[in-house]
């Protein structure tokens, strides 16, 4: 079951588990998209790898509450206060297992999810970030979050060194973090990442 919802001026898709029961708490997958999916009516989500996987109904994400906000501005940072409000709204929802509230982001959404986690680290249990970047000098704020970070070694949009800097600072802070660098891969490292169901099992476990 999927609903189109809005909170704090941000529209989002809310996917419920296939066995959803009122009163039961579920892990949450809170995902921020990249620049190519900006818009106002979700039409730009067409062809999204992660949504296609989810809608097939056979992935580990079918056991979780999945939240897909849409950025109607130029960047997530233009909506950042509202994005924090939305994260709190979902975190406090009656269906959320707060011990398994998990972040995910791609490219522009990678920047966004890092910043949300730096501002509200107490919410997050695990995170997957693909071809993202952020204020790595503040990585210590996220030291209690478990990370899987992915990047293409030939990414022309966000250089792979950004991922290495973030991982280095997270490791220095004592975080549980892994970095996968895909060889001969450009900006799109997310297809490989989210098509690997082991990554999806990990993030909701």
- Give per-residue pLDDT as tens, 111-168: 999 999 999 999 999 999 999 999 999 999 999 999 999 999 999 999 999 999 999 9
* Domains in the chain, number: 1
What pLDDT score does 136 carry?
A: 96
CB 27 within 8 A of CB 100: yes
Domain that holds residue 121: 2-204
Please, which residues bridge with residue 128 across strands? 104, 148
Residues 3-21: what's their mean pLDDT? 96
What pLDDT score does 19 carry?
A: 87
Relative to beta strand 26-32, strand 126-130 is unpaired
Neighbours of 18 (CB within 10 A): 10
C-alpha separations of 12 from 6, 69, 150, 189 in Å: 6, 4, 25, 24
Neighbours of 132 (CB within 10 A): 27
What pLDDT score does 18 carry?
A: 85
Residues 180-190: what's their mean pLDDT? 98
What pLDDT score does 133 carry?
A: 97
What pLDDT score does 166 carry?
A: 98
3-state secondary structure 140-189: HHHCCCEEEEEEECCCCCCCHHHHHHHHHHHHHCCCCEEEEEECCCCCCC
Measured CA to CA, the distance from residue 153 to residue 183 in angstroms comes to 6
> Residue 91 sits in a domain of what CATH number?
3.40.50.1820
């Amino acid at each position: 079951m999927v609903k189109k919802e809005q909170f704090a001026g941000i529209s989002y898709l809310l996917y419920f588990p296939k066995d959803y029961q009122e009163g039961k708490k579920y892990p949450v997958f809170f995902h921020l998209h990249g620049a190519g999916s900006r818009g106002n009516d979700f039409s730009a989500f067409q062809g999204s790898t992660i949504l296609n996987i989810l809608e097939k109904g056979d992935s580990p994400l079918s056991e979780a509450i999945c939240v897909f906000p849409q950025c109607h501005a130029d960047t997530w940072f233009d909506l950042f206060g509202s994005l924090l409000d939305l994260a709190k709204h979902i975190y406090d929802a009656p269906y959320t297992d707060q011990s398994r509230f998990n972040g995910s982001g791609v490219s522009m959404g990678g920047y966004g999810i890092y910043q949300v986690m730096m501002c509200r680290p107490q919410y997050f249990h695990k995170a997957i970030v693909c071809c993202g970047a952020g204020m790595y000098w503040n990585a210590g704020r996220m030291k209690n979050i478990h990370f899987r970070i992915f990047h293409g070694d030939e990414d022309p949009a966000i250089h792979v060194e950004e991922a290495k800097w973030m991982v280095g600072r997270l490791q220095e802070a004592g975080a549980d973090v892994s970095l996968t660098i895909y060889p001969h891969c450009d900006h799109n490292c997310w297809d490989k990442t989210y098509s690997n169901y082991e990554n999806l099992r990990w993030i909701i476990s």
